Every structure is written in structure tokens, then in C-alpha cells.
Amino acid sequence: MGGPLAEPTGTAGFAARIAAELAESVRGIDPAQAESFAEALDRAANVFTAGAGRSGLMGKALAMRLVHAGSQAHVVGETTTPGIGPGDLLVMCSGSGETRTLVPMAEKARELGADVAVLTLKPDSTLAKLATMVVRLPGASKSRENDDYATIQPMGSLFEQTLLLFCDASVLRLMQRRGLDTDRMYGKHANLE
């Protein structure tokens, strides 16, 4: 879907088109996979997130909200991140499921007895095969090969946005399971800003 964009026009028009694409994308999320992921977040002793590029940023956003919800959450690669082990969950965010830097992390986490959840476009990918849980998120890949969703957006934007919405929805489900509301979560918000 390369080439110049004929429609829509203007920033507001593009925003409306992106919102429509996202509405279509989130309808394709499997409810059973989504509920299993929320349950895994709830029972994990520690949740670790990992991803590269923009997908990694969405993983960091998930870790932040999990901390607000009372979870022990960490971002792989940060200086304060502890070791992973049994009872822990590694959440890997990768559209392709083939990100070379993530594969050894998944292997190591499994070797150390942790569960691995992979949020991906490709449920038959290398990362998905290493996972204890896979959530297939609809979207479009960077290469546009074998995609189910058309998008006007560049590269993996639709997947990354779907990933962020899915993670935020998972935190809402976790809040519901734990009887939390925004006021109680705000008490865990950073206050040295």
C-alpha cells in the first residue's frame, strides 16, 4: 500500500482514519487469549517486559501501568531489573516474533522456569514457539507480507497501536479482577516529577 495518500486530508482526517483502523483491528483479538493473558498478569510474582523499537516502548508502558496496579513489574535491560525465575512472567512484544535480540531472552527465561507470553502478529513465529502463551494481535507488519489488515500507516504502526490498546485493556481487566479504581492506582504514580 505504498505511494501517495489520496484520502483523507489533514491531520484530523488522518487521525479519524487511524481510529477506524484500530477499531477494526481490536475486533480481531481473541477473547480467550486476552483473558488468559490477564490471568497470567494477575498471578505472576514479577512481570518483565521486553521488546525492540516502538513495540518495546509499548511494553514499557505496560510495565508502568502494572506498577500502578500494584504488580512487581520490570523492563528488561534497565539497571534496576532483578533476575527472573519460577512464578515470573516475561511479556515479549514483537510484531514479527523473530526479533533476534528477543529470542535468547525467551530461551533463558524458559530455562530459568519463568513463563513467557508473546504478543505478536505471527503465532507461528520463533518467539511464539518458545512461549507458554501467545496472544495474536491483529495489525500490519512492516513488510506488509501476508497481512490481514490494510492500513494507511507506515511500517508497524497499526500493530504497535493495537499492542498499546491491548495492554491498556489488559490493565483495566487486571484492575477489575483486583477491585482497583483510578484513585487507588494514582497513589502509586511517580511523585518526583
To the query of whether residue 39 is one of the catalytic residues in this protein, the response is: no
End-to-end CA distance of the chain: 42
Which position among 35, 39, 107, 160 bears the catalytic label?
160
Sheet (strand 47-51) strand order:
73-75, 47-51, 89-93, 115-120, 133-136
* Count of all residues that appear for the chain in the document: 193
User: Which residues lie below 8 Å from residue 94, measured CB to CB, with a gap of 6+?
Assistant: 51, 52, 55, 102, 118, 119, 120, 125, 127
DSSP state of 56: H
E runs forming strands in 121-172 = 133-136
Return d(Cα 50, Cα 62) in angstroms, integer: 10
Residues tagged active-site: 160
